[in-house]
Amino acid sequence: MPPDSARPEGSRAWVIGAGLAGLSAAVRLAGLGWSVTLFEAAGQPGGRCRSFHDSALDRLIDNGNHLLLSGNRSAMALLREIGAPDPLIEVSPARLPFVDLESGERWTLRPNRGPLPWWVCAPGRRVPETRLADYAAALKLRRAGNRTVADLFDGPPGSARRRLYERFWEPMAVAVLNTEAAAGAARLLWPVMAEILLRGEAAFRPCIAQTGLSESFADPAVKWLEARGGRFLPGVRVRAVSFDDTGVSALAAGGETVAVAPGEPVVSAVPPAACAGLFPDIGTPTEYRPIVNLHYVVGDGFALPGGLPLLGLIGGTAQWLFLRGDVLSVTISAGVAEAALPHDRLAGTVWQEICRATGAANPGASASAPPCRVITEKRATIAQTPAQDRLRPGARTRRRNLYLAGDWTDTGLPATIEGAIRSGETAARAIGRPPAAG
């Protein structure tokens, strides 16, 4: 580990974990005047949001597909701060296209400008065969308590309420919570409503990484940090932590012991299980859900309906398709059963759904699946159920200089990219400026 003698005691901050939560905390702390050291056990930053060159496909792919929306204020602020060059493809004006694989019906959600959501009054802008009154049920989210998404929104078979549930609330819940709607905590959807859907078209624009998640977030964040004197230490795992009477006093990292002076903050931005291993007295969520991602090389002539870079699927195995260049990426959220399937079998099943969904746009598509890479994140997020949601700790701990960050902490948001970045902001805000800069 490089020497740190040039950094005066009392002005240093230590961040454990260089996922988006740790990167966010490190950037914000450096901006406040701290000399930041960022530890990362892996060889590269980004955590679950990174890109890499896949040798089998000979393409740059993301380890997981992530959809941002233009109203994700923390994510967009971070991108502006670190100066990421052309980081996202933005669908403007906002459109979210869907296809029902069982009926073949297609529709596109098209919110209007301004915060008053009059678009739900226009049949051509909302889910087919639903009524304006069905959307008013969204206000229940403000007082959802411990109820699930299904508790609030599911209805009798054949009813307009059931149609809206199957074609809007359930797919949104699975995408946002990575938890089945019958178990997902409904209260976590309210911030999505308040920060996105109730702010109009300008906040609702889908955004996907233009090149890759590492190129959009992780690499520019590290470059920004190092340009301001921060240190990024890849391949250095913090294996143990020492405490004095009130706080963290040392970190065992990379075969060395690093002293932490009084008043120097430590931010733990590692997953729940790793956090519990380092800090056994901190309670964490204990249940998880997987995400399965498939990446197909489809060729330059492949297109999604309407020429958009994304498509939502209803009633199938997959939920979202994302097209970037000649790589079609597929997301299966809360894919507990799919994570256990043989990769070739899963790739074939999903490809058949893709052909049904995009047949008119790709009339010559082969019935056999093209080259495909399947990536499963077994612990992609915590299970965002009411019971697990109650286990999410806040940024502050009982240790005077120990703070927590991560999408799994109690940010008030679901465990998403926005939640991860917001958690780093929250931890940095709780720490404040170093004494010399106060």
pLDDT in tens, 49-107: 999 999 999 999 999 888 999 999 999 999 999 998 877 999 999 999 999 999 999 99
pLDDT at 171: 94
For residue 312, pLDDT over 80 is answered with yes
Least confident of 129-143, 230-244, 290-304: 129-143
**pLDDT for 244 beyond 60:** yes
259-278: per-residue pLDDT in tens?
A: 999 999 999 999 999 999 99
Q: How confident is the model at residue 119 (pLDDT cuts 50, 70, 90)?
A: confident
Among left, alpha and beta (phi > 0; psi -120 to 50; other), residue 24 is alpha
Range in 54-58, 82-86, 211-215, 334-338 with the lowest mean pLDDT:
82-86
Split at pLDDT 50, 70, 90, the class of 9 is: low
Distance (Å, whole) CA 87 – CA 94: 18
DSSP 3-state helix, strand, coil percentages of the chain (rounded to 5)? Answer: 35, 25, 45
**Section 397-418 average pLDDT:** 97
Secondary structure (3-state) at 206: strand
Distances (CA, A) of 288 to 3, 68, 221: 38, 21, 28
Domains in the chain with CATH codes: 12-49+213-286+385-437 (3.50.50.60), 112-203 (no CATH), 288-382 (3.90.660.10)
422 or 8, which is more confident: 422
Provide, rounded to the nearest whole percent, the portion of the chain with pLDDT above 70.
Answer: 97
pLDDT for 280 equals 95
Cα 309 from chain centre: 18
Alpha helices (H) in 139-271, listed in sequence order: 149-153, 160-164, 170-177, 190-195, 213, 219-227
pLDDT bracket for residue 7 (50, 70, 90): low
Report residue 152 CA to chain centroid gap: 24
pLDDT at 5: 47
Which pLDDT score, from 0 to 100, does residue 437 have?
A: 54
Instruction: Indicate if the pLDDT at residue 108 is higher than 90.
Output: yes
3-class state of residue 380 by DSSP: strand
Radius of gyration of the chain (CA): 22
Structure confidence by residue, pLDDT tens digits, 361-393: 887 777 789 999 999 999 999 999 999 999 999
